[in-house]
Amino acid sequence: MNELISPGSLITIAGGVLTVVGALAYGAGNANLSLPTIFYGIPIFLGGLALKSSELPPARRVTPKPQFRAEREAASPELVKLLNDVTRWRYGQKAHLESSLEALKLWDEDKPSQLLEVEEICGDAGYGLRMRFACEAVGLERWQERRERLGRFFAKGLKAQIIPLENDQLDLTLLPKSEATTGEHGEP
């Protein structure tokens, strides 16, 4: 169902419907209806297919959107912007946070790290995010080397924690500088 609500899918469906209506109107001899629908339907359909070919779906959101509404409103605007950025459809990019990963030197052109999911966490330290990445060609060592910079990069006053996982994955947790908190899955 998630694929059907992407803008690329909606544009492709709209263009397909216009093209079919135009073809049926042409077959029925209704030139007033067939000409505009085919004239607009085919380019819209092709534009939708082009969007679908370069589509990057949003990262899976672990925490339901309404759960931390009050904490999110009180959080730093950079963290909220980061959350909104990774939970929307992207076009023409290989991975979420592409420019950020390039600036942090955590980018590989052939096999970039992929953001799999994002979770909002809240505890004693405050509101933060946990992002799960599939490392691909960028090794855990490079992530660990840039841990200090990761915290400062996304917003002032954040501390980054990197937790290695199985299958070349890692969790990047961004929390305000304070004592560590735990998320829903019990990770620090």
Read off the pLDDT of residues 156-175 as tens digits, 9 standing for 90 and up.
Answer: 888 999 999 988 899 999 99
Residues 155 and 79 both lie in one domain:
yes
The whole model's pTM is what?
A: 0.77
Q: Count of domains in the chain?
A: 2
Residues 71 and 118 both lie in one domain:
yes
Alpha-carbon separation of residue 172 from 113, 133, 151, 186, 187 (angstroms): 12, 8, 10, 14, 11
Whole-number pLDDT of residue 4: 53
- Residue range 33-42, pLDDT digits in tens: 888 898 999 9
Number of other CB atoms surrounding residue 161 within 10 Å: 17
- Residue range 18-29, pLDDT digits in tens: 999 999 999 998
Whole-number pLDDT of residue 1: 43
- Residue range 123-156, pLDDT digits in tens: 787 889 999 999 888 888 999 999 889 888 988 8
- Residue 185 placed within a domain: no
- Residue 183 placed within a domain: no
In the chain, the percentage of residues whose pLDDT exceeds 90 is 40
Q: What is the mean pLDDT of the chain?
A: 86
Whole-number pLDDT of residue 72: 83
Residues 165 and 95 both lie in one domain:
yes
Residues 15 and 44 both lie in one domain:
yes
Residues 100 and 32 both lie in one domain:
no
Residues 10 and 74 both lie in one domain:
no
- Residue 110 placed within a domain: yes
- Residue range 89-103, pLDDT digits in tens: 999 888 898 889 999
Region 38-51: what's the mean pLDDT?
94
Residues 34 and 82 both lie in one domain:
no
Boundary residue ending a domain (53, 77, 96): 53
Token pair recorded at residue 114 = 């992929």
| Domain range enclosing 66 | 56-176
End-to-end CA distance of the chain: 33
Decide if pLDDT at 109 tops 90. Answer: no
Residues 61 and 88 both lie in one domain:
yes
CATH of the domain at 91: 3.30.980
